[in-house]
Structure 1
Amino acid sequence: MKAEHEFFDTSALEWIPDPDFAGVSQKILSHDDSGASTQLSKWDAGLDTSHSGVISHDFAEEVFLLSGELTDLTLNETFLAGAYTSRQPNMPHGPYVTRTGCVMLVIATPV
């Protein structure tokens, strides 16, 4: 189970570069040993994940776009702040590109 946190100032947390994706940084808000996590994910302007192809992973994922824009190249659709998705494990998605950069709230839940 994730640790209990009352409201706290997330600006005090540092953005941690994702070692697997250049141009992606994260602020881990909460996590546990099972792999469950709640995080902010920041994608730099111009980031393009085409080289990774369609994405799939073995955990459920919810994403809420807080700022910026994100284009799904498979769907040929651009999503703006306020967009939300809920993905079951192994659901194909992406690849993506962001012209302006974006920040997302990401909740990952192992199954």
Structure 2
Amino acid sequence: MIIVFGNVQIAPQHMEQARRVANEHVQRSRAEPGCISHAFYEDPERPSRLVFVEEWESAQALQQHFAVPASGAFVRQMEELAASPSHIKLYQATELPFPRAST
């Protein structure tokens, strides 16, 4: 599984538009093959900061997502609305069982 963490500081005057663009991107991405989950959140400690969390079945599925023209358009739109450059990190992960407390 590939996990994507991203964040971008949006210029305050562009927050409404950024929410709309992000929501459209998330809804479209969720329908793509290999997408396990895709969401964005507003950071409660940093106004105007959007945080993206994604799970993909494989690196290949994520690469296909990046190749979708609408994904590139989304990145360009976020760059135009941002107050500073975005940050994206990719992680390859293996799901582990949640440890249960002994009673």
Calculate the TM-score normalised by the size of structure 1. 0.30
More strand per residue: 1 or 2? 1
More helix per residue: 1 or 2? 2
**Greater RCO (Cα-Cα under 8 Å, separation 6 or more):** 2
Structure number with greater Rg is 2
Calculate the TM-score normalised by the size of structure 2. 0.31
